[in-house]
Amino acid sequence: MHDPRIIVALDFPSAEDALLLVKKLNPDLCRLKVGKELFTAVGPQLIEKLTHQGFEVFLDLKFHDIPNTVASACKAAANLGAWMINVHALGGRKMLTAAREAIPHGSATKLIAVTLLTSMDQSDIMDIGLQGKPEQIVERLARLANDCELDGVVCSALEASRLRQQLGNDFCLVTPGIRPADCQSDDQKRTTTPKQGILNGSHYLVIGRPITQAKNPVSVCQQINSEIAKLASNH
């Protein structure tokens, strides 16, 4: 597959664990996501290593700081060769604009924003003084990210169809919480299947445990890719 829609979340405590899985995968099957745990444990060399192996890497560090610091962090992340990086939309317009200026449109690195963490419910939102329902806040923050000309957002696949309608086809929607029909949901609450995620307008499906814990990770990826390819040929 030329442009794989799966991003495998490498949620591992060490480079050895992560590389054991990566050895079985290949860049035609999937992209890879490195998050705070793995990055903090092993450092930036891993990003360069995975990139040298031909993988496109989403560096999921969710930057949230003053505009100047976020802009510099974004530049440093892009210099590692990351295919995609992200910031928190809650950092606000000035921070998002500074990040965009640091990683201009058309750079090799895509810049997206996290809207509202899916772990936050209504009571968490009230605790921090935000008004409205989670889906309204997600929509507002996604519009803000779009206004600041970011390339897209991370959102739940359940919110994707509405955001797709409102923000158009070029705005990239990256969706975690994906579970193939025969998989357990683990601690994810609002899940969709890969097929439903794509039908809802997701560009990229972030998938962790259903692939990382599978007996045969390659065959899970292949199965998902062929489901997605069937959808494309039916439309």
Q: Which residues bind ligand C5P (CB under 6 A)?
A: 9, 11, 35, 117-118, 154, 176-177, 186, 188, 206-209
Shortest spacing between CB 169 and ligand C5P, in angstroms: 22
Active-site annotation holder among 33, 36, 49, 62: 62
- What count of other Cβ atoms lies within 10 Å of the Cβ of residue 229? 12
- CA atoms within a 13 Å half-sphere pointing along the CA-CB vector of 109: 26
Please identify, using beta-carbon distances, which residue of 9 and 172 lies nearer to ligand C5P.
Answer: 9
Geometric angle at alpha carbon 58, from 53 and 59, rounded to 5°: 105
Closest separation in Å from C-beta 81 to ligand C5P: 20
Closest approach, Cβ 104 to ligand C5P, in A, equals 25
Q: Does the annotation count 49 as an active-site position?
A: no
Between 58 and 171, CB nearer to ligand C5P: 58
Residue nearest to ligand C5P (CB): 208
What is the rounded distance in angstroms from the CA atom of residue 30 to the CA atom of residue 214?
Answer: 15
Nearest CB to ligand C5P, comparing residues 13 and 104:
13
Provide the residue type at 137 as one letter: I
Cα maximum dimension of the chain: 47
End-to-end CA distance of the chain: 18
Q: Which residues are known catalytic residues?
A: 62
